[in-house]
Structure 1
Amino acid sequence: LEFLKNNFAGGVDNFLCFSEGERDEEAVSARKRLAEEKDYSAALEYFPKHLKYERILIDHLSKYKNDYAGAVNKLPRNLQLLFIHAFQSYLFNNELKKLLESKKWTGSEELDLIGYESQTTPEQDLALQEFGLTKESFQLKTLSYLSSRGSKRKAFVKVNDFSILSEDPLKLRFSLGSGSYATVVIDYLLE
């Protein structure tokens, strides 16, 4: 989200220091310590080795103070894009939830993955404004290759070959078409 506001420092800090839901106590401790001290050189000594991407950012920032965009640029491209795509998915899923609640769907709807070329509705503009964004926020000036024009995605997908393999623990088997996410299907089933 912060990257869409051109706030790479905030986005990197969130990635490095946010520990809510983290189960690894060593990682929690390292994240909290970095949040307090902001000493990237020292963090290289105590940050867990298995936090590979965090260590890439820390290493860069220990050498190039305040070059947060440069640090992000050191990450694999697919991870960089994930920061943008995750927020697009969040907006998409909220819009889908509202569509389902309205009970006015036919099953053939396509919804927006909002980007800077999207023809947004007033409701979508309002959803973006709640985060201090506009559709133009998806056209990044820094690290412009992370910009997203936007696209459409089917709101509903066909779940094929569905079966329950076991109930305790719950194990499911099914297949989906490309561009569909099993986690979304499972989340919907468990609601």
Structure 2
Amino acid sequence: MFPYEQGFPVKAPELERQIGLEVYATSTEGVGGRIRQLLGDFSVREVLLDGSKAPLEPPRGPVGGRGSFLLCSLVKEGMDTLEAVRRLVKALGIPDGLISFAGLKDARAKTAQFLTVRGARPEILSQLGIRGLYVIPLCFRTEPLGPGELAANEFDITIRTIELARGAVLGRLDAVLSELAEFGGLPNFFGHQRFGTARPITHLVGRELVRGNVKKAVELFLTYAGPGEGPRTIEARSYLADTWDLKGFLSLLPRGLYYEHAMAKHLLEKPGDFHGALRLLPLRLRRLFVHAYQAYLFNRFLSKRIAYGLPLAEARPGDWLIELDERGLPTSRAIKVISTSKTGKGLVLALPLPGFRQELSSGAQGEVEKTILEEEGVRPEDFKVRVMPELASPGWLRPALVKPDMLRAPEVFDDELNPGHRALRLCFRLPRGSYATVLLREIMKPEDVLKAGF
């Protein structure tokens, strides 16, 4: 029987609903405010499985170790990981395949993350002089860095422009955290930066690729104007959408949009070669489109499960359970439940990211997933992406809940940048693949996601 959708006292903003974030887990009124007024207000550091944290400053002593892969800390602000790697590749004059990293980091933050560069010399990397980033060589090793080596991310975040008194801020924060504890944890949604907040486009491009529409995917990438983009960019995209005049588009387009320039020039030289235009984008970025669409579907699956009142701390018949390792990270071992059972003892509820190998849930949750896929007009086998097979994705399972680890007591203080307002500083750790903004949205309950800095 298909479950009944419940009403919720706090409705998610429209921009969040577009990326599958349709509900909150808590009903406590938010503290409001804004994140990222300064880039330093949103700081992220990677933590590897061995406990090492990406440093912000060079360690003392020479670079040791053996092997051809140089492990480094990449410290950046004002650009995402893919853009930082693009600049590194250009400065070093090497193929991007020689650089490996464990995770993607947001542009609007100060972040420190690990990467390896094959065949690099420490003295060259440490003196590149690229604006907005610097590289700290750490040691040589025999293998490139892989995603499986990342354990967690540590966040140090300041929420500003809060209009509440100090006691009210702490009271609402405590109430939200108590509600989440009673809920079983934080819903493990994919956060805003997975899709782009200023221009939530990645999953839309991914959807068209999965459906086999390369032409539509390219048109979307070039013409879709996001709510957070500048007026010149919006004008250029709108002009192209109305006219498909690529020369005029290029004359209007700001210089910083590197990929749009390259794709438009290619289509001028080879009209109709949409496959070739899309393949100008790095493989990592093209794969991100498909993965973002899978993330959108996961968000919708999880939103509907919450909305229908199906538990997240308990498995029902047909649900997936996934085993966690000793660090609390998901493994590849999963079972499908045949009778209602509590989670725990290293087993947690998991929902699928659809793919050509990943079996959907059964039972009530399975009905939710099948209905959403029918609405989207896609099937699991479509993730073979036959129009561009290098983007094929088998799918996987993702825990439905995650438990934030608060690293220190929250601090409320007078906001020196905004007199008469308060600021809230939060320091916490999340397992790899989980998003700080998902916790922040529960705490803040923003009415306008863009103005709130998401």
Query: How high is the TM-score relative to the length of structure 2?
Result: 0.40
Q: Is the 8 A contact 2:312 2:400 kept in 1?
A: no
Q: Distance in 2 between matches of 1:181 and 1:56?
A: 31
Q: CA deviation at 1:63?
A: 1.4
Q: CA deviation at 1:190?
A: 3.8
Q: Which of 358, 361, 366 in structure 2 is aligned with 1:118?
A: 358
Counterpart AA for 2:384: Q
Q: Which residue of 1 is the match for residue 156 of structure 2?
A: none
The structure richer in strand per residue is 2
Q: Which residue of 1 is the match for residue 288 of structure 2?
A: 82
Query: Is the aligned partner of 1:136 residue 2:342?
Result: no
Q: Distance in 2 between matches of 1:51 and 1:170?
A: 35
Q: Distance in 1 between matches of 2:425 and 2:216?
A: 39
Q: CA deviation at 1:4?
A: 1.1
Q: Which residue of 1 is the match for residue 311 of structure 2?
A: 104
1:121-145 deviation digits (Å, cap 9, x = unpaired): 3432221111111111111112111
Q: CA deviation at 1:166?
A: 4.3
Q: Which residue of 2 is the match for residue 68 of structure 1?
A: 274
Query: Is the aligned partner of 1:44 residue 2:250?
Result: yes
Q: Which residue of 2 is the match for residue 187 of structure 1?
A: 441
Q: Which residue of 2 is the match for residue 152 of structure 1?
A: 397
Give the gaps of 5 or more residues in structure 1. none
1:51-84 deviation digits (Å, cap 9, x = unpaired): 1222222122111111112111110122211211
Q: Is the 8 A contact 2:358 2:380 kept in 1?
A: yes
Q: Distance in 2 between matches of 1:34 and 1:169?
A: 43
Q: CA deviation at 1:35?
A: 0.9
SS at match of 2:376: coil
Q: Distance in 2 between matches of 1:170 and 1:78?
A: 36
Q: Distance in 2 between matches of 1:23 and 1:165?
A: 33
Q: Which residue of 1 is the match for residue 430 of structure 2?
A: 176
Q: CA deviation at 1:23?
A: 3.3
Q: Distance in 2 between matches of 1:16 and 1:165?
A: 43
Q: Distance in 1 between matches of 2:424 and 2:296?
A: 26
The structure number with the bigger radius of gyration is 2
SS at match of 2:432: coil
Query: How high is the TM-score relative to the length of structure 1?
Result: 0.89
Q: Distance in 2 between matches of 1:169 and 1:69?
A: 48
Over 3 Å counting, the alpha-carbon distance change for 1:171 and 1:49 in structure 2 is farther
Q: CA deviation at 1:26?
A: 0.3
Q: CA deviation at 1:30?
A: 0.5
Give the gaps of 5 or more residues in structure 2. 1-206, 314-342, 361-365, 414-421, 446-454
The structure richer in helix per residue is 1
Q: CA deviation at 1:17?
A: 0.9
Over 3 Å counting, the alpha-carbon distance change for 1:62 and 1:173 in structure 2 is farther
Q: Report % sequence identity.
A: 31
Q: Distance in 1 between matches of 2:250 and 2:381?
A: 36
Q: Distance in 1 between matches of 2:411 and 2:231?
A: 34
Aligned length: 191
When the two chains are superposed, the root-mean-square deviation of aligned CA atoms in Å is: 2.0
